[in-house]
Structure 1
Amino acid sequence: MSTPQDAFVVVGVDDSRLSMTAVRLAAREAVLHSRPLRVVHAFNWVADPAEPMPEEPRRPAEELLCRATATANQAQPTLDVSSALIEGPVITTLLRESGSAALLVIGDGGLSAGTDVPTASDATAVQLAARAGCSVLVAREQVPLTGPVLVGVDGSASSLSALEFAFDTASRHCTDLVVVQVCDPADADGTPPPEVVEQLAEAVAPWQRKFPSVQVNQRVRTGDPESTLAQEARRAELVVVSARGDEPWRGMLGSVSQAMLYHSIAPVVVVRGAHGVYIQE
C-alpha cells in the first residue's frame, strides 16, 4: 500500500536540546519528498499528578511549538508547516500520528550515549521505532555528516523494502549508497560465500536500473552484523534498516535495528511498510 502524496512528515518535539535538530532533519526530508511538515507536541499534565500544574499550563507548550515551527521555516523557507498541541501520552499520541504519516521523525533520547540500559526518554524512541505505522527517522545530537546512505540487508522481504527506501533516499539526497550484507564466512580465511555475493548483486540490480544516477558500493562482510554495520555507520550520513527481517508485521525490532538505534552515530531510519497497525497500550 503506497503512502498518499499529501501525507505529512511528522516530527515529535519536546523541550530537549535535540528536538530542534530533529525539526531541521524533518524539514529537509519533507522538502526532498515534496510533503508538508506537521510539528506535534504531546501535552500530558494529567500523567504526573505529583507535578503542580502551572497557572497557564499551555503557554510553555505553545511557545515550544512556535519555536519549532520557526526553526522549520528558517531551515526550509518554502516548506508548508503546521503544528498541533495534543493532550495525551507522548507514545500514544505519536503512534496515532504515525498511522497516517509518510515518515515520523523523533530525537533519540540519548540512545547513542553508549549504554544498553534503557532510560525513560530512550525507551520512547525505541517503542516508537518498533511500533509506528510508518517508517521512523531517529535524529542524533550531532548534525549528520556528508557521506553515503548506508543500508543493511539480509535477503528477507523486509530488508528489501529497506533497500528500496535507501535507493530512493540516496537519489533524493544526491549521494552514494553503500549496501552491506553480513554473513558467515565460506572458509577459515573469512572469504564471503560466492552465492551470497551473487544474491546481493541480484537484489540490487532492479533498483540500480530504477535509480541509475545513484552510485552503489556493494559490500559482503563476514562476522557479526550488529558490530559490522555500526562500524560502517561511522562514515554514513544516514543509516537505513528494516524493522525486523523475518517478521516485520509483528511491530517489533530485530537485533540489527536495535543495535543501530543504540550504536550508530548517524541518524537511523527504521523502515516499515506504510500504514501498519500500531499496538495500542
Structure 2
Amino acid sequence: MLEKEEKTSRKIQYSCYVSRSREGEQFVQDHVFSYQISGSITMSDGQKTYLFNPGDFRLNKRNHLVKFVKQPPEHGEFKTVSVYLDQETLRDVSMEYNYKAEKQQHGDAVVLLKPEALYQHYMNSLAPYDALTLPGNDKLIALKLREAVLILLQTAPELKDVLFDFSDPGKIDLEAFMHKNFHFNVELKRFAYLTGRSLATFKRDFEKIFHVSPSRWLQQRRLQEAHYLIKEKGVAPAEVYMEVGFQDLSHFSFAFKKMYGMAPSRI
C-alpha cells in the first residue's frame, strides 16, 4: 500500500502511514514532544527498546541516535503528531522566565510522559494541521512551541534540566561509542559531534585506535554483524541489511559477497 503524505510546518509535523510497517533511523537534533494517535512505534537507541501505543505521549531527547519501526493498526493508519522544540525557542523561554539547567541529565534517549489532561488539550489544539502549515503562520507556530515548553515544565518540572541544557556533547571514549553505535547509518560528522570531536580530530583519533579509516571499519564491522545474524540467528538478508546500517539491499549484497565470497542468501 502507498504511504500517505507527511504534513509539516518544519516545527510541527503530522505523520500518517498506511503501509504495513515503515522502518528508519535518525539523528535526533532537537527535543521532540510527540503524541501517538493510532498505530504503534518501536524505537531503539542501541541499548534500550521503547514501545509507544495509541494515547501515549513521549519526549525524544536531542543528540541521540534512534532507529524506529512504525506499525499501523490492522486495516487502519499510523498517525502521530510531533512538536520540535528547537534550541532558539528554548533559549528564548530560558531568558524570559529565567529557567536554567542545574545539572546534566543522562539516561534514556526517549521518555514516556505520564498522561496529563494538559497534554491532550494541547495536542487537540493542533488539530487544524493544514492551517498551521500555510505560509504566514510563523508567529502562530512560534506561540504553539512556547506553549508546549511551558506545559511540559508545569506537568514535569524535572524536565528543566533536560530542556535547558544547551551544552554540546563532551569528549567521550570513541572506541566504546563506535562499538555501540556502528549500526546507525549516519554521516561521519554526526559520529564526530556525538563523541565531542571535530571531524578531523575524529578521523585522526579513530585511525589511532582502529588502525583503519572510519568508513572501512564501519563497513567491515557491519558486515561481520550481518554474517553473525544470518548464520547464527537465521535472520533473512532482506531484514538484516538495514539493521546493521546499510542503506539499500543491493549495496549490502555486493559488499557482503566481496568480503565473504558468496551472496548473503547462500550463507
TM superposition score normalised by structure 1: 0.23
Higher Rg: 2
Higher normalized contact order (CA 8 Å, seq sep 6+, divided by chain length): 1
TM superposition score normalised by structure 2: 0.24
